[in-house]
Structure 1
Amino acid sequence: MRKLTYFVACSIDGFIGDPGGDAGPFMPFVDEEFLACLTAEYPETIASQGRRALGVDDLENRVFDTVVQGRASYQLALDIGVTSPYAHLRQYVASRTLAESPDPAVRIVADDIVGTVRELKAEDGEFGIYLCGGSQLAGELIDEVDELVVKTYPVVLGSGLPMFGSGFDVGAFTLDEMRLFGNGVLVRTYRRKR
């Protein structure tokens, strides 16, 4: 069974973006050391446009072959004219407002995103599923999340989008790994306790 990994950036106080969803306050911390780690260990989490800009568009997937993201996260790409933000992955967008996909490479899931994720997890394959973002979507999928990779940036936002944006039962996770970077970014990997 494949696993669903919520690979997420957040502030010290647990917000994944400001009240408008902008993660811009985290960008100053994406330095050479941290970027080298991302490209070596999680290259598929870098959007296609970023991969091209960094000259790493030819990197093979290491961890994921599928991405699931919420409508608001997808909208960030649409706002800059990008209809297929993760062209190197199979792309699913949870949306009740998009009637049809603006790109044939992006599948819109209007209802039962939990069922869709369960189907994806049941597929055979060596790669996992990247839950890219969306506070609300993460809250809806919390019971399906097998792993958390939390990139905590040394900044306090005070308010904004929480990591999990909807009510759910308490889920226990076990810390597997922790890494501190010179710029103060802390990356923790947790596995769900079953």
Structure 2
Amino acid sequence: MRKLTYYIACSIDGFIGDPGGDANSFMAFLDEEYLAYMNAEYPETIPTEARKALGCDGVPNKRFDTVIQGRGSYQIALDAGLPSPYGHLREIVASRTLTESPHPNVEIVHHDIVGRVRALKAEDGDLGIWLCGGSQIAGELIDEIDELVIKAYPQVYGSGMPMFGSGFAISDFTLDAVRSFGNGVVVRTYHRKR
């Protein structure tokens, strides 16, 4: 069975964006050491256009072959004129408001994202599924998340968009690895305790 990984950037107090969803302040931490790590360990999480600019277009996917995101996260790409931001992956967008896909590579799921994720997890394959964001879809999919990869940036937001936009429920995970960088970023990896 394939696993669903929530690979996400957040502040040290657990916010993935400011109250409007903007997380551009994290960009200040993309230094050479950290980018080299991300490019080597998670190359498929780099948007297609950035892969071309970085010279890693054509690098095989290492962990994921599918990306899932909510409408808010996807809207950022649409606003930038990128209707298929991760064209090197199968792209799925959970949205109740998009009536049709703006790109042939993007599948819109209007209802039952949990059922769609369960079907994806049941597929044969060595690569997993990346939950890109945002908060609301992570809250809906909390019970399906098998792994968390949390890139914690050394900033405190105080308020904003939480990692999980859901009601209170305890979900236990076990720490697998911690990697720290000179810029203050800490990447923690957890797996779901079953």
| CA distance in structure 1 between the partners assigned to 2:6 and 2:135 by the alignment | 11
In percent, how many aligned pairs have the same letter? Answer: 71
Aligned length, in residue pairs: 194
| CA distance in structure 2 between the partners assigned to 1:18 and 1:57 by the alignment | 31
Letter in 2 for 1:49: E
| Superposed counterparts of 1:68-87, under 5 Å | 68-87=68-87
| CA distance in structure 1 between the partners assigned to 2:63 and 2:171 by the alignment | 23
Residue in structure 2 matched with residue 14 of structure 1 by the alignment: 14
Residue in structure 2 matched with residue 105 of structure 1 by the alignment: 105
Q: Tell me, what secondary structure is at the counterpart of 1:116?
A: helix
| CA distance in structure 1 between the partners assigned to 2:80 and 2:190 by the alignment | 33
The answer for unaligned runs of 5 or more in structure 1 is: none
Q: Tell me, what secondary structure is at the counterpart of 2:146?
A: strand
Residue in structure 2 matched with residue 191 of structure 1 by the alignment: 191
Q: CA RMSD in A?
A: 0.7
Contact 1:142 1:168 in 2 (8 A): no
Letter in 1 for 2:68: V
Letter in 1 for 2:156: V
| TM-score for both structures, normalised by structure 1 | 0.99
Residue in structure 2 matched with residue 45 of structure 1 by the alignment: 45
Residue in structure 2 matched with residue 24 of structure 1 by the alignment: 24
The answer for unaligned runs of 5 or more in structure 2 is: none
Q: Deviation at 1:168?
A: 4.9
Residue in structure 1 matched with residue 5 of structure 2 by the alignment: 5
Q: Tell me, what secondary structure is at the counterpart of 1:169?
A: coil
Residue in structure 1 matched with residue 117 of structure 2 by the alignment: 117
Q: Deviation at 1:126?
A: 0.2
| CA distance in structure 1 between the partners assigned to 2:16 and 2:50 by the alignment | 19
Letter in 2 for 1:164: F
Residue in structure 2 matched with residue 135 of structure 1 by the alignment: 135
| CA distance in structure 2 between the partners assigned to 1:140 and 1:168 by the alignment | 12
Over residues 84-115 of structure 1, what are the superposed CA-to-partner deviations in whole Å (9 max), with x where a residue is unaligned?
Answer: 00000000000000000000100000000000
| CA distance in structure 1 between the partners assigned to 2:42 and 2:66 by the alignment | 13
Letter in 1 for 2:55: G
Letter in 2 for 1:109: V
Q: Deviation at 1:52?
A: 1.4
Q: Tell me, what secondary structure is at the counterpart of 1:190?
A: strand
Q: Deviation at 1:169?
A: 2.3
| TM-score for both structures, normalised by structure 2 | 0.99
Q: Tell me, what secondary structure is at the counterpart of 1:117?
A: helix
Residue in structure 2 matched with residue 144 of structure 1 by the alignment: 144
| CA distance in structure 2 between the partners assigned to 1:88 and 1:2 by the alignment | 18
Could you say if the C-alpha distance between residues 168 and 145 of structure 1 is closer, same or farther in structure 2, counting changes exceeding 3 Å?
A: farther
Q: Tell me, what secondary structure is at the counterpart of 2:157?
A: coil
| CA distance in structure 1 between the partners assigned to 2:115 and 2:87 by the alignment | 23
Q: Tell me, what secondary structure is at the counterpart of 1:88?
A: coil
Residue in structure 1 matched with residue 64 of structure 2 by the alignment: 64
Q: Tell me, what secondary structure is at the counterpart of 2:87?
A: coil
